[in-house]
Amino acid sequence: MIKTELGTLRRSHYSNELNPSMDGLEVTIMGWVLTIRGHGNISFATIRDKNGDIPIVAKKGDCPDELREKLSILKAHSSIAITGRIKSSEKAPTGFEIIPSELRVFSDVEKIPPFEPLAKTVKNIDTRLEVRPIDLRRKTLQHIFNARSQVLKSIRDYFYQQNFIEINTPKMIATATEGGAALFPIFYYNKEAFLAQSPQLYKEQLIMSFEKVFEIAPIFRAEPSRTNRHLAEAISVDLEEAFVDYNDVMNRIEDIIKIAIVTVSDYAKNNSDVEFIIPSKPEHIPRYSYDELIEKMQKAGAKTEWGDDLYPSNLKKIGVEGFYFIKDWPLGPKPFYVKDSKTNPKISESFDLMFGDLELSSGSTRIEKRHELEERMKNKGMKTDAFEYHLGAFDYGVPPHAGCGIGLERLIMALTGTENIRDVTFYPRDVDRLTP
């Protein structure tokens, strides 16, 4: 009647597979205890599995006394299985309840979490992160990560439909991908190596063989930023394509954004308790040049000059909102592989995708000629010898190409109205956090 081992017992149904029309059917459900309430000779429990909640009613005379007594003293988060029969009930939120006949308690709770499992919000995110597996049981986060999973699937489906091939590139590298100091050094046997800032150089090489490639994988940036939108380890959706330029890549991103919005909207429609703030799907994502925005900022009274970064405070002053591209940035600060404009050598064929003042993506047309790459690297004070493995590929005919990286976590923030990037990351890594 009450056991503690799984044995041969297996779940017969998930919560979303049960309904009142199954009245009288014996089922086995598994999950963890969400709530327990006792009223004399009757105990009410709610069991949550990956798909939802299941009401349990243990009443004297309807189920064994031993089972009812054990159920009544279980703590929230206990992991259990219940076998019982479905009974339709107009009073139950689901339209039915389960009358238990067998209980298995796989694990009793040793500690009480520092927040309620039903809480929609818990102010101290560090408290939540310390018990992240329990935090992720809350409905708010369940919806975020289920929607995130659906978005990833829709993005992958788009790439496969467009004849891209999925790649995997090394995350331990010998030299900096983009130069600069934002690197995590590691010991690689008896030599120094680095965690990859991006798959940039590898995906450029791979378009020589496959033309259209994408990767969804971690990137590592050692930036000392303590904001609600920066991570040291993030997931990047990278694409690279041969025989196109940055305009074609912006078209790709526009497709992806529209697909992602539809995906999240559909998820919300199928889950009535979702509280996402979902942006409306744009017919077309506006494309502003860097020069155009600088001029608008100056007219709005912002202290900015050509060559300055476009700071969030200044973007707010000119009222740009929703999704939009900023293109044709000054070439100077851009990575060595970004191509310059045919009409103005001080301008790059590059873009950022923004959502309000939040940067979601960065991309460009790439340089396809070795001598131009070497000249750019030298101008940036980089040692070309350290990149010979990459430069050597350009001796064999690299086609014109372009690509970008999209920050998955920031995209999910934009799609769901989430303010803190840690709430769209399973286990965040930042300046202050290396655990759990």
Locate 339 and state its tokens: 């191509």
Q: Going edge to edge, which strands form the sheet with 401-407?
A: 165-166, 212-220, 233-242, 401-407, 358-365, 350-355, 323-327, 287-289
17 is catalytic: no
Q: Boundaries of CATH 3.30.930.10 in the chain?
A: 134-424
Q: Would the annotation count 366 as a binding residue?
A: yes
pTM reported for the whole predicted model: 0.93
Instruction: Compute the average pLDDT of residues 162-182.
Output: 84
Q: Does the pLDDT at position 223 exceed 90?
A: no
Q: Which of 68, 128, 143, 221 is catalytic?
A: 221
Q: Would the annotation count 38 as a binding residue?
A: no
What CATH architecture does domain 2-107 belong to? Beta Barrel (2.40)
**Cα–Cα distance, 321 to 41 (Å, whole number):** 58
Q: Does the pLDDT at position 181 exceed 70?
A: no
Q: Would the annotation count 359 as a binding residue?
A: yes
Q: How confident is the model at residue 158 (pLDDT cuts 50, 70, 90)?
A: very high
Provide the 8-state DSSP code for 398. Answer: P
374 is catalytic: no
Domain range 134-424, its CATH number among 2.60.40.1180, 3.30.930.10, 3.40.640.10, 3.40.50.12780: 3.30.930.10
Which range among 37-41, 115-119, 277-281, 407-411 shows the weakest confidence by mean pLDDT? 115-119
**Considering the chain, what percentage of its residues have pLDDT values greater than 70?**
98
Locate 141 and state its tokens: 């986060």
Q: Does the pLDDT at position 22 exceed 70?
A: yes
221 is catalytic: yes
Q: Would the annotation count 409 as a binding residue?
A: yes
Q: What is the pLDDT of residues 23-82, one digit of tens each?
A: 999 999 999 999 999 888 999 999 999 999 999 999 999 999 999 999 999 999 999 999
The amino acid sitting at 104 is R
Q: What is the pLDDT of residues 347-396, one digit of tens each?
A: 999 999 999 999 999 999 999 999 999 999 999 999 899 899 999 999 99
Neighbours of 319 (CB within 10 A): 8
10 is catalytic: no
Q: How confident is the model at residue 176 (pLDDT cuts 50, 70, 90)?
A: low
**Cα–Cα distance, 305 to 325 (Å, whole number):** 20
Q: Boundaries of CATH 2.40.50.140 in the chain?
A: 2-107
Locate 176 and state its tokens: 């900096």
138 is catalytic: no
